[in-house]
C-alpha cells in the first residue's frame, strides 16, 4: 500500500482521513484564521494548511463533497482538481457557490475529498493523416451525438 506523506503547516490543520472503512476519499478540511463567506455565484480558494507528497505514479484528485453540493450548492470549481506527484505547495481547494444563499466556511469544516489514483503515462505519437487514428462507429460525432 502506498503512503501519503502529510505535513501540517499549522497546528490546527486537519490531517486527511477516511471517514469509514469503505470510503474512497479522504476528507479535506479548511484551515482558516477566521470564517470565510462565499456569496451566491462567488468563488474561493480555501487553504487546508497541508502540504502532501503524492506517491510516485499517482495523482491526488480533489473532488466535491456530495452533502455540500446537495444542501448548499457548493462544489469544487475545477472538479476534479489534480494534485501532481511533484507538487509540494499548500493544498488549496477552489470552491464555487451555485446556491442562492451565502455560504460560510469555518476552520475545520470538511470542504472536499481527496482520492489517490494511479496515473497512466503514454508515449505521444503525432500522425500525418487523420486516417491513421483509425475509424470507429461513432466517428467524429461529439456533444449529444449518441442521444440524450
Instruction: Report the pLDDT value the prediction gives residue 70, as an integer from 0 to 100.
Output: 96
Instruction: Report the pLDDT value the prediction gives residue 128, as an integer from 0 to 100.
Output: 96
Selection from 73, 49, 61, 74 nearest residue 25 by Cα? 61
Read off the C-alpha cell for 100: 442562492
Q: What DSSP character marks residue 18? A: B
Instruction: Report the pLDDT value the prediction gives residue 1, as an integer from 0 to 100.
Output: 81
Instruction: Report the pLDDT value the prediction gives residue 131, as an integer from 0 to 100.
Output: 92
Break the chain into its structural domains and give their ranges: 5-119
Instruction: Report the pLDDT value the prediction gives residue 146, as an integer from 0 to 100.
Output: 76
Bridge pairing between strands 43-53 and 5-8: antiparallel
Instruction: Report the pLDDT value the prediction gives residue 30, as an integer from 0 to 100.
Output: 98
Which residue numbers in the chain have pLDDT < 70?
Answer: none
Q: What is this structure's pTM?
A: 0.88
Does domain 5-119 fall under CATH 2.70.40.10? My reply is: yes
Q: Residue 84 and residue 68: Cα distance in Å, rounded?
A: 25
Amino acid at each position: 500500500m502506498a503512503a501519503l506523506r502529510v505535513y501540517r503547516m499549522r497546528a490546527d490543520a486537519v490531517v486527511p482521513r477516511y471517514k469509514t472503512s469503505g470510503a474512497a476519499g479522504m476528507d479535506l478540511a479548511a484551515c482558516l484564521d477566521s470564517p470565510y463567506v462565499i456569496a451566491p455565484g462567488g468563488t474561493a480558494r480555501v487553504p487546508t494548511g497541508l502540504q502532501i507528497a503524492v506517491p510516485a505514479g499517482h495523482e491526488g484528485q480533489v473532488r466535491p463533497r456530495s452533502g455540500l453540493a446537495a444542501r448548499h450548492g457548493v462544489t469544487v470549481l475545477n472538479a476534479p482538481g489534480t494534485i501532481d506527484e511533484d507538487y509540494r505547495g499548500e493544498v488549496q481547494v477552489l470552491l464555487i457557490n451555485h446556491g442562492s444563499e451565502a455560504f460560510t466556511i469555518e476552520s475545520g469544516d470538511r470542504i472536499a475529498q481527496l482520492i489517490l489514483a494511479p496515473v497512466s503515462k503514454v508515449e505521444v505519437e503525432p500522425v500525418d493523416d487523420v486516417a491513421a487514428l483509425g475509424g470507429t462507429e461513432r466517428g467524429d460525432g461529439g456533444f449529444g451525438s449518441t442521444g440524450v
